[in-house]
């Protein structure tokens, strides 16, 4: 398994995650010197993947911090950007971006709209990215192998590709899962129907996944009607958030199983549901 012996940050959903996130960042600053970050996920951590393949995320994305569209579906920086900064590493280049990329300190395989399970619809039909988590793994695998072949050519390649030994001591981060829940709602499935396939989502990958509160995503609130009584005191749709919590509960168990599967990997579970 590619990630055995590595450090992995898992983020999930419940009470005081930001506190957890902060403490894991502080810990990482001390003894851990990560030479690289490899990230997998969706729009929460896409630094240019979907933009490279399907057109640049338009303004106001990117405007407030970068001053121009910067491949992020956000006008500022993403958590993955702050994570890189806190480890003293540059922002991650998107694997799919062919312009100006530098992968010395890692690569980002996330694309906006990605799911864990491959969808049976096109991006045009449903808005979900064809670069599901399994595809991101294919890309990572190819990147790992080919970066070393290309690096041997020397010259500039040595300055833009990671060293072989950096793969095993890198930090692997995952932020994906919320779109697996919303894809069912968009097919008019009920909350119970979506809940019923959650174990399959977790099973299929049994890997480190983090989801954020789907019921607070503006695109869900806008497209799926919710009764006024189902809006919680934060203005979020509570039935969807219940499923998100159910997902995270399963994720927590999946992470426990993964610790057994990958005894040499340090797996950190970070809860961002709030
Ligand atoms: C796509 O279709 C296959 C075959 O019917 C099915 O097994 C799979 O669960 C479907 N995927 C999703 C995300 O619904
Ligand atoms: C890529 O980034 C590394 C580390 O930041 C730097 O040393 C190297 O010069 C960069 N390569 C190019 C071609 O900019």
**Alpha carbon distance 41, 226 (integer Å):** 27
Within-domain flag for 238 = yes
Within-domain flag for 95 = yes
Q: Is 84 helix (H, G, I), strand (E, B) or coil?
A: helix
Give the pLDDT score at 79: 93
- The minimum-distance atom of ligand 2 relative to the CA of 105 is 4
DSSP calls for 40-67: EESTTT-SSHHHHHH-PPPTTTTTTTTS
Cβ atoms < 10 Å from Cβ of 56: 15
Within-domain flag for 3 = no
Give the pLDDT score at 38: 92
Query: How remote is the CA of residue 117 from the centroid of ligand 1, in Å?
Result: 8
Query: How remote is the CA of residue 124 from the centroid of ligand 1, in Å?
Result: 18
Query: How remote is the CA of residue 125 from the centroid of ligand 2, in Å?
Result: 39
Within-domain flag for 1 = no
Phi, psi of 20 (to 5 degrees): -60, -45
Give the pLDDT score at 219: 58
Domain encompassing residue 143: 8-269
Within-domain flag for 242 = yes
Within-domain flag for 21 = yes
Pocket of ligand 1 (CB under 6 A): 117, 119-120
Q: Does residue 16 contact residue 272 with C-beta atoms inside 8 Å?
A: no
pLDDT tens by residue, the chain, 274 residues: 344 445 555 443 322 222 223 333 333 444 568 899 999 999 999 999 999 999 999 999 999 999 999 999 999 999 999 999 999 999 999 999 999 999 999 999 999 999 999 999 999 999 999 999 989 988 988 999 999 999 999 999 999 999 999 988 888 888 888 899 999 999 999 999 999 999 998 887 664 343 334 445 555 556 666 666 677 776 677 777 788 888 888 888 888 887 887 777 677 777 666 4
CATH of the domain at 45: 3.40.50
Overall number of domains in the chain: 1
Give the pLDDT score at 26: 37
Give the pLDDT score at 205: 65
Pocket of ligand 2 (CB under 6 A): 90, 102, 104, 156, 159-160
Within-domain flag for 76 = yes
User: In whole angstroms, what separates CA 269 from the centre of its chain?
Assistant: 13
Within-domain flag for 2 = no
């Amino acid at each position: 398994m590619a990630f055995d012996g590595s450090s992995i940050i898992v983020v999930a959903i419940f009470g005081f995650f930001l506190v957890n996130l902060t403490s894991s960042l502080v810990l990482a600053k001390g003894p851990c010197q990560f030479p690289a970050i490899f990230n997998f996920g969706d729009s929460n951590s896409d630094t240019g993947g979907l933009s490279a393949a399907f057109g640049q995320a338009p303004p106001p994305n990117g405007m407030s911090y970068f001053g121009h569209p910067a491949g992020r579906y956000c006008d500022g920086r993403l958590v993955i950007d702050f994570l890189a900064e806190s480890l003293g590493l540059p922002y991650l280049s998107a694997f799919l971006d062919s312009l100006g990329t530098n992968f010395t300190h890692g690569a980002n395989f996330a694309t906006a709209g990605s799911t864990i399970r491959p969808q049976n619809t096109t991006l045009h039909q449903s808005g979900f990215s064809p670069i599901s988590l399994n595809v991101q793994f294919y890309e990572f695998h190819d990147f790992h192998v080919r970066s070393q072949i290309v690096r041997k050519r020397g010259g500039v390649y040595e300055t833009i590709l990671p060293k072989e030994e950096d793969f095993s001591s890198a930090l692997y981060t995952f932020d994906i899962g919320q779109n697996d829940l919303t894809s069912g709602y968009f097919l008019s499935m009920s909350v119970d129907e979506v809940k019923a396939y959650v174990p399959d989502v977790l099973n299929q990958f049994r890997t480190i996944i983090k989801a954020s509160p789907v019921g607070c995503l503006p695109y869900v609130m806008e497209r799926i009607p919710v009764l006024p009584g189902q809006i919680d005191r934060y203005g979020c749709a509570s039935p969807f958030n219940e499923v998100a919590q159910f997902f995270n509960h399963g994720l927590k168990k999946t992470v426990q199983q993964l610790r057994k599967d990958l005894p040499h990997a340090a797996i950190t579970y970070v809860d961002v549901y709030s």
